[in-house]
Amino acid sequence: MAHVATWKIERVKRLVDMIVSSPVIGIANIEGIPARQIQKMRRNLINKTSMVVSKNTLFDLALKEAAKQKEGIDRLIEIIDGPTALIATQLNPFKLFKELESTKTEAPAKGGEIATEDIEVKAGQTSFKPGPIVGELQKAGIPAKIEGGAVVISKDKVMVKQGEKIPAVVAKVLTRLEIYPLTVGLDLRGVFEDGTFFPKAVLQIDETIYINNVRLAAVQAMNLAIYAGYTTKITIKPLLLKAHSDALNLAVNAKIFTKESIDVLLQKANVQMLSLALKTQDALDDDLRTLLSLPTKELKKEEKPVEIKKEKEEEVEKEQPEKEKTDEIKKEKEVEKEKEEKPVEIKKEKKEEVEKAQPEKEKTDENKDKNQQKGG
Does the pLDDT of residue 102 top 90, yes or no?
Answer: no
Q: What is the mean pLDDT of residues 41-56?
A: 87
Q: What is the pLDDT of residue 45?
A: 83
Question: Tell me, what DSSP letter sits at residue 30?
Answer: -
Distances (CA, A) of 243 to 239, 259, 361: 6, 17, 134
Which of the four pLDDT bands, split at 50, 70 and 90, describes residue 118?
very high
Helix (H) or strand (E) holding 158: strand 157-160
pLDDT of residue 239: 92
Note the pLDDT of residue 194.
92
Percent of the chain with pLDDT over 70: 77
CATH architecture of 6-104+185-203: 2-Layer Sandwich (3.30)
Tell me: pLDDT of 178 over 50: yes
pLDDT band per the 50, 70, 90 thresholds, residue 286: confident
The dihedrals phi and psi of 67, each to the nearest 5 degrees, come to: -60, -20
pLDDT band at 357 (very low <50, low <70, confident <90, very high): low
Please report which confidence band the pLDDT of residue 1 belongs to, taking 50, 70 and 90 as the band edges. very low
Burial 132-144 (b: 16+ CB within 10 A, else e): ebbebbeebbbeb
CA distances from 84 to 28, 117, 275 (A): 6, 23, 81
State the average pLDDT for the chain. Answer: 82
Q: What is the 3-state secondary structure (H, E, C) of 322-357?
A: HHHHHHHHHHHHHHHHHHHHHHHHHHHHHHHHHHHH
Structural domain spans, the chain = 6-104+185-203, 113-182
Read off the pLDDT band of 317 (50, 70, 90): low
Position 171 pLDDT exceeds 60:
yes
Strand partners of residue 171: none
- Of 6-10, 75-79, 268-272, 278-282, minimum mean pLDDT range: 278-282
* DSSP 8-state secondary structure symbol assigned to residue 165: B
CA torsion 310-312-313-318 (nearest 10°) is 130
367 backbone dihedrals φ, ψ, rounded to 5° = -65, -35
d(CA 359, CA 356) in angstroms, rounded, equals 7
Q: Report d(CA 240, CA 235) in Å as an integer.
A: 9
> What is d(CA 175, CA 190) in angstroms, rounded to the nearest whole number?
32
Cα separation, 2 vs 13, whole angstroms: 19
Q: Is the pLDDT score of 55 beyond 90?
A: yes
pLDDT at 208: 86
pLDDT at 83: 92
Point out which residues pair with 105 in neighbouring strands: 184
What is the predicted pLDDT for the residue at 156?
92
Would you state the pLDDT for residue 184? 82
Rounded distance between C-alpha atoms, residue 289 and residue 267, angstroms: 19
Claim: this prediction has a pTM higher than 0.75: no
Instruction: Summarize pLDDT for 223-273 with one digit per residue, the tens.
Output: 999 989 999 999 999 999 999 999 989 988 998 888 888 988 898 888 887
Q: Which fold has domain 113-182?
A: Molybdopterin biosynthesis moea protein, domain 2 (3.90.105)
